[in-house]
A and B are shown apart, each in its own frame.
Chain A
Amino acid sequence: KSCSILVTDANFECNEENIMLQAMDNSHIALVSVEIGAPGFTSYRCDRTMPLGVDLTSLTKVLRCAKDENICTLKAADEADVLNLVYDAKSAFFSPFFFAFMWHGRDASSPFPPFFLLCSALLPLFIHLNISLSSQTPITSSWPETKYDTRVTLPSAEFTRIVRDLSQLGEHVRIEVSKEVVRISKLKAKSSAEDEDNDSIPTGVVIEMNQHVSLTFSLKYLVNFSKSGSLSGEVQLLMSNDVPLLVAYDFTQGYIRCYLAPKIGD
């Protein structure tokens, strides 16, 4: 769900050790990278390395059907063009539905694949969801390794609150990190009456730095990144001057890392 805000189509690269996703957003300003290790699943089996090209918009709609207590099983057969999701319903109050999402191939003239929704209230207590797999070129490039001058670790809820609040006031934000202070200042305020800087130094902030950095970013993207805040109690902001910001959420058996290109010049 976090990725679908940034990326509409992506390949899940599956191998024996993990499931990975790496994709740029449509405007090529942000990059999202996700890894979920095999131990993060109750059971995991991958007989053959394969990419699963998935329309994330459709997948998100399917995932909304799940409840917290549901156990979700994902299956893709060899040479199959369908990703099958099965939800085990544990709640006696769960209303069973059957959904079938089907499309064959991608029509370039169609921005969204046609799908058919079938519902029944009397089917057994599980859901079968089929999402067809699109044929995309697998992303084989390596993870972009970068050394950063600063790392700021803070509670993810604080980061979410900061960028959400500032996005109400402006379109861009300048993040400056010095030895003891992180200054997050809004830019291009929509209202001149709200033009003062907003320093946000919440508790639980750890600053590691080799060099002072000052970078400007689009708040819209930071707000989208912060949607991953529920995955981890902490978020790390890694920055160097004139290179993309890395917003990293690590969880027990994986991570979601979002890169954002800065604005240059003034």
Chain B
Amino acid sequence: LKLFSGDQVLRIKAKDETQLAVLKDLVHFKHLQVDFWRSPLSPNLPVDVRVPSCNLQAVKAYLKSHGIPYSVMIDDVQVLIDKEREAMAASRRL
């Protein structure tokens, strides 16, 4: 059973095409194991990316070094998964 403890989802807003290209490069850095929930497509659209906890520092540093603004959309993915499970179990009992 795969755990997502400490994984975060970052919402990133690229300002222009240059920053968008930097985000697209992130797709190719396979060692960072990022999972794009919303892909880098246009500066008008936000990008959401799940980042494993072990690579958070590296990804955030990468974004900062390129001046790309982001916010933490989900602080801990596993907490939400646990809540989903509890909700499903409660529903089943009901």
Q: Do A and B form a real pair? A: no
Chain B interface residues (CB < 8 Å from chain A): none
Q: Please list the residues of chain A having a beta carbon within 8 angstroms of any beta carbon in chain B.
A: none
